[in-house]
Amino acid sequence: MEAIVIELSRFIRHYLVSSLNDIGVTTQSFTSAGEALEAIKAGARPSLVCTSLVTSDLSGLELRAALSSDARFREIPMVLVTSSAEDGTAAEAIKAGFLAIFRKNDLTRFGPWAARFLSSSPDIDVIRGRILHIEDSRSAVELIAKLFAEHPVEIDSCPSVESALVKVGQLPYDLILADYSLEGERTGLDFVRILRNDLYSRIPVVMLSASSDRDRICSILESGANDFVSKPVIPRELLARVGILLENKYLIDRLEKQKHFLFDMAMRDQLTSLFNRRSLFEVGPKEISRARRHGYQLSLLILDLDHFKEVNDRHGHQRGDEVLRQVGGLLHTILRDGDWAARFGGEEFVILMPNCGLDNAAGRADQIRLAFEALKPADLLVTVSIGVTTCKEGWDFESLFRAADEAVYRAKANGRNRVERGEDLEGELPGQTRP
């Protein structure tokens, strides 16, 4: 099963692709709706097309219209991703034939929706993943392996609690089938109790037992097992119970990923995929504390694109946004591991450099300045003024930021496209309105 994703933002595109990959769907991704259309005409048969309202050429609505105009492609399912909050956009999209609309600032529904929609196809199997089977009977191991042979699962087996605990510490299992009676002194019940007190407590467990004693069954479920199946196993029953637990685990895992994704979105600038102003004032003080605790130097750079207002005035905001997007991409590629970059707002960027003194930071700032000059984003010559400073004894993050801010002001006042140091600044720093 394949899907096509069309989205300009690398960050959003990666999230959509990952959401589809997680449910076993392979993807092709594009920034151009026109290129996606050509791929479909050339033979691609996606089970789902996820397109942004705005792409590098055709709009998502224009792509829907182009596909609908051809009898071969009009039945291809499509969903729309948009940052537009206008009610008219949703109405127009539904009228055009989109199955669903997802807002870019709230993509939590996309993964579960795609799983539900695509699971109606026989190509998607809820019984998938890695299963650990704890069983000391060779014939029982072979029976379970045969039962799951037609499903995309990988089954490992082991005969005892001790060997099972080793395996769950080595590999990420999606589900555990555990027999009650095992090799050695410990039982499957002991295994579940140990598991639930450890880091792997979220792995679903199905306990198998030939005993139908109600007290034993209650003890198994009270210990933390998710389900119980009597032996001899009825294949249809076991597959149904395992399928439900695997689907629930998938949904819980997706929610956990979406929680981290939403936190990341709240901390990042959507245009450049760099961190944003909010995250800067959370991370900055922590970096100062860490530098003092470990005894290393911390430098801060403020970058201000020169004459950026003229770019927007002469070439339009869309081209200005492309400049900022490419600048963000440049910073992603040229910074050291451990450096931290944020878009502070407008055309301003901030870089934190741990383990970096003033001389090294100034040298790195000049390399960045030259890289900006050579970049020519959106085919425009763009230069940058940079202020750089290193944290001094007794400074808090506000002092560090203001020192670099004053330095970048002097860089712009002294001709732009240059680096100025904030090393001689002491005490309260005057507020300035930069040109």
Cβ–Cβ < 8 Å for 78, 97: yes
Question: What integer pLDDT is reported at residue 121 of this predicted model?
Answer: 52
CATH number at residue 243: 3.40.50.2300
- Extract the tokens encoding 110: 């996309």
pLDDT of residue 266: 77
Please give the backbone phi and psi of residue 342, each rounded to the nearest 5 degrees, phi first.
-140, 150
Only one residue has tokens 């989205």, namely 7
Residue 390 to residue 430: CA distance in whole angstroms:
18
Q: What is the rounded CA–CA span in Å between residue 225 and residue 112?
A: 25
For tokens 């507020």, name the residue. 431
Residue 354 lies in a domain: yes
| The residue to which tokens 């001689």 are assigned | 424
Q: What is the pLDDT of residue 125?
A: 56
Is residue 305 in some structural domain?
A: yes
Cα separation of 430 and 435, whole Å?
A: 15
Do 393 and 322 share a structural domain?
Answer: yes
The secondary element (H helix, E strand) that includes residue 343 is: strand 340-345
pLDDT attached to residue 428: 43
Q: Does residue 109 sit in the same domain as residue 185?
A: no
Answer yes or no: do 55 and 179 share one domain: no
Asked if residue 433 belongs to a domain, the reply is no
Tell me, yes or no, whether 62 and 165 share the same domain. Answer: no
Contact 306, 417 (CB under 8 A): yes
Same-domain pairing of 196 and 232: yes
Tokens describing residue 370 = 């030259």
Confidence (pLDDT) at 88: 65
Helix extents (H) in 335-415: 358-375, 397-413
In three-state secondary structure terms, 160 is strand
Task: Write down the pLDDT at residue 348.
Answer: 95
pLDDT at 429: 43
Give the residue among 150, 93, 108 at the shortest CA–CA distance from 127.
150
For the chain, the residue count is 435
Give the residue from 303, 305, 298 showing the smallest Cα distance to 389.
298
Structural Rg of the chain based on CA atoms: 28
Domain range for residue 331? 277-421
Please, what's the b/e burial string for 163-180 (b: 16 or more CB within 10 A of its CB; e: otherwise)? ebbeebeeeebbbbbbbb
Per-residue pLDDT of the chain (435 residues; tens, 9 = 90+): 799 999 998 878 888 998 888 888 899 999 999 999 999 999 888 999 999 999 999 999 999 999 999 888 888 999 999 886 555 677 788 788 898 888 887 788 888 888 878 765 544 556 888 999 999 999 999 999 999 988 888 999 999 999 999 999 899 899 999 999 998 999 999 999 999 887 667 899 999 999 888 999 999 999 999 999 999 999 989 998 998 898 888 878 777 777 777 777 778 888 888 999 889 988 999 999 999 999 999 999 999 999 999 999 999 988 999 999 999 999 988 998 889 999 998 999 999 999 999 999 999 999 999 999 999 998 999 999 999 999 999 999 999 999 999 999 999 999 999 999 986 544 444 344 444
Residue 434: per-residue pLDDT: 44
pLDDT at site 85 = 56
Whether 306 and 417 map to the same domain: the answer is yes
The pLDDT value recorded for residue 433 is: 40
Please report which helix (H) or strand (E) contains residue 38, including its range: helix 33-41
Residue 431's pLDDT is what?
44
Same domain, 338 and 238: no
| Residue 105, in any domain of the structure | yes
The CA dihedral of 146, 147, 149, 150, to the nearest 10 degrees, is: 140
- Determine the Cα–Cα distance for residues 281 and 287; give it in Å rounded to an integer: 10
* Helix runs in 268-307, H state only: 277-294
- Do 410 and 285 reside in the same domain of the chain? yes
Is 289 in the same domain as 341? yes
pLDDT given at position 126: 67
Tell me the one-letter amino acid at 317: H
Total structural domains within the chain? 3
* 176 lies in the same domain as 156: yes
Domain ends where: 118, 149, 164? Answer: 118
For position 432, what pLDDT does the model report? Answer: 42
Q: Which residues contact 403 (CB under 8 A, 6 or more apart)?
A: 300, 387, 389, 395, 422, 425, 429
Estimate to the nearest angstrom the gap between the alpha carbon of 364 and the chain centroid. Answer: 29
Parallel, antiparallel or unpaired: strands 298-305 and 348-354: antiparallel
Q: Note whether 417 and 284 are same-domain residues.
A: yes
245 Cβ contact list (under 8 Å, min separation 6) = 175, 204, 206, 226, 227
In this structure, the answer to whether residues 82 and 138 fall within a common structural domain is: no
